[in-house]
Amino acid sequence: MYLFLARFALYFIATCYGAAPLSITQGIGDTWLDYYGCATDHGNLWIAINELKQTSQAQLDNLNEKINQQKEILARQPQLCQGRTNYTQWKPYWGSHGISAHVDTSHCRFQAVPAYFTSLSGYQSHWTTIGMTSIYAESKSGFDVYLMHTEGAKDTNDVCLSPYCIKAANYLLESIDETIDPCEDFYQFACGTWLKNTRIPPENGKHRSRSRLTIRLENALVDFFSTSPPQNDTIEPRAIINARRLYDSCMDEDAIEIEDIDVILSLVKTEFGGWPALEGLTWNESTFDLSHLTRKLNQYNNFILYTIKSVADDKNSSVRSIRIDPSNFLLKNLMHFSKGTKVRDAYYEFFYSLTEALTNDTSTIDDDVDALQNFELEIME
């Protein structure tokens, strides 16, 4: 291990505070560092780098240059503020493997949630242990800092410390509200910070953590099916083989162009009983069966009027309930009703163009699209 000292100027912070400032350092990789002897105009930086046996003066000069570059960057950002813990003791967290504390920044009077950072990262110091920190539950008035001590987990076989487990644990930590007593309101304790920091997209009636997982899953599936199947003797399950065929058929644009719209028209006519917008004046309403149509569309996981689900009761998870929800109409996902003129126009253009591409009889398209739009609005009311 090679040790060296570097002296660096702190004029940029001293100018802002006029007194010995709070000096912040950060180590990355197999390094640790410490500062000491800080005054209003300078400080000393002690750095140890593992397994670095020889360091030339040129390397040291390069390091000093990088430190000075960071100094100049920070000099242009004087609005730094130090958080306070008000001498609060660190609290045990995650058994014996971690501790946490709340840092108060209300005195900084931030107008928005700022970028918080700490100097407790990497190899903690040359005096103590190896650990890692995480900041969570950020707000304008403070944040919580969590320090995991890996020494405490050496003799424990039931604690997962993989990057995935740590990421999952951090997500949970960012969701809870430690200011709430879990014995009084466990829901608010477990989800309070998530509720406070999560905004429902304006086009959705609801939002949940599973929504992000769904998007990630969809992206993962696209990546999986976009790759070729294994070329060795591995035999994929039939479900995977069929899924690949379905995906490939959807992505085969040349075959789709050759088949043109015949497949769609056949499906609409034989499976769903026809569509009046496509048949124009030849449409025979007496042959239409709404029950048959809804059953067929349900098989395609398309619920046009409402959805029926068996779900766990919100207040008693041991009880199953039947829940009926309104369908996920296109207009519902696209518009605020108070300012939806542009959306309605775009909706009209979309359906008009779609219908016009599928039929040569355009005699009733205008009336059909208007009726469809008004029907959805009436249902949603």
Closest CA to 142 of 54, 75, 82, 94: 82
| Segments making up each domain of the chain, as ranges | 2-75, 91-197, 260-380
Q: Are strands 142-149 and 131-139 parallel, antiparallel or unpaired?
A: antiparallel
Asked whether the CA dihedral 341, 345, 346, 350 is positive or negative, the reply is positive
Radius of gyration for the alpha carbons in the chain, expressed in angstroms and rounded: 31
Q: Which residues pair with 4 in a beta bridge?
A: 47
Answer yes or no: are the C-beta atoms of 247 and 225 closer than 8 Å.
Answer: yes
Tell me what pLDDT residue 60 has.
61
Tell me what pLDDT residue 63 has.
59
Query: What does the pLDDT look like over 268-282, one tens digit per residue?
Result: 888 888 888 888 778
Answer yes or no: are the C-beta atoms of 182 and 176 closer than 8 Å.
Answer: no
Residue 236: CB atoms within 10 Å: 12
Phi and psi torsions of 99, nearest 5°: -135, 155
Q: What is d(CA 304, CA 152) in angstroms, rounded to the nearest whole number?
A: 55
Q: What is d(CA 52, CA 68) in angstroms, rounded to the nearest whole number?
A: 22
Closest CA to 343 of 332, 353, 355: 332
Q: What is the mean pLDDT of each run of 10 residues along the chain (381 residues)?
A: 32 34 41 46 50 55 58 50 58 66 78 70 39 69 71 55 76 85 91 85 72 84 86 80 90 84 84 83 84 86 82 84 78 55 77 83 80 78 68
Tell me what pLDDT residue 316 has.
83
Tell me what pLDDT residue 34 has.
44
Query: What does the pLDDT look like over 241-268, one tens digit per residue?
Result: 899 999 998 888 888 888 878 888 888 8
Output the CA–CA distances (angstroms, integers) from residue 224 to 12, 60, 190, 216, 243, in the order listed. 51, 47, 34, 12, 11
Tell me what pLDDT residue 173 has.
83
Phi and psi torsions of 302, nearest 5°: -125, 110
Answer yes or no: are the C-beta atoms of 42 and 10 closer than 8 Å.
Answer: yes
Residue 252: CB atoms within 10 Å: 12
Q: Which residues pair with 308 in a beta bridge?
A: 324
Tell me what pLDDT residue 65 has.
61
Query: What does the pLDDT look like over 15-72, one tens digit per residue?
Result: 233 344 444 444 433 344 444 444 545 555 545 444 444 556 666 666 566 555 555 5
Q: Are strands 31-36 and 42-49 parallel, antiparallel or unpaired?
A: antiparallel
SS (H, E, C) the chain: CEEEEEEEECHHHHHHHCCCCCCCCCCCCCEEEEEECCCCCEEEEEEEECCCCCCCHHHHHHHHHHHHHHHHHHHCCCCCCCCECCCCCCEEECCCCEEEEEEECHHHCCCCCCCCCCCCCCECCCCCCEEEEEEEEEECCEEEEEEEEHHHHCCCCCCCCCHHHHHHHHHHHCCCCCCCCCCCCHHHHHHHHHHHHCCCCCCCCCCCHHHHHHHHHHHHHHHHHHCCCCCCCCCCCHHHHHHHHHHHHHHCHHHHHHHCCHHHHHHHHHHCCCCHHHHHHHCCHHHCCHHHHHHHHHHCCCCCCEEEEEEECCCCCCCEEEEEEECCCHHHHHCCHHHCHHHHHHHHHHHHHHHHHHCCCCCCHHHHHHHHHHHHHHHHC
**Contacts by 218-222, CB closer than 8 A, 24 or more apart:** none
Answer yes or no: are the C-beta atoms of 367 and 289 closer than 8 Å.
Answer: no
The model carries a pTM of: 0.40
Tell me what pLDDT residue 51 has.
40
Answer yes or no: are the C-beta atoms of 142 and 83 closer than 8 Å.
Answer: yes
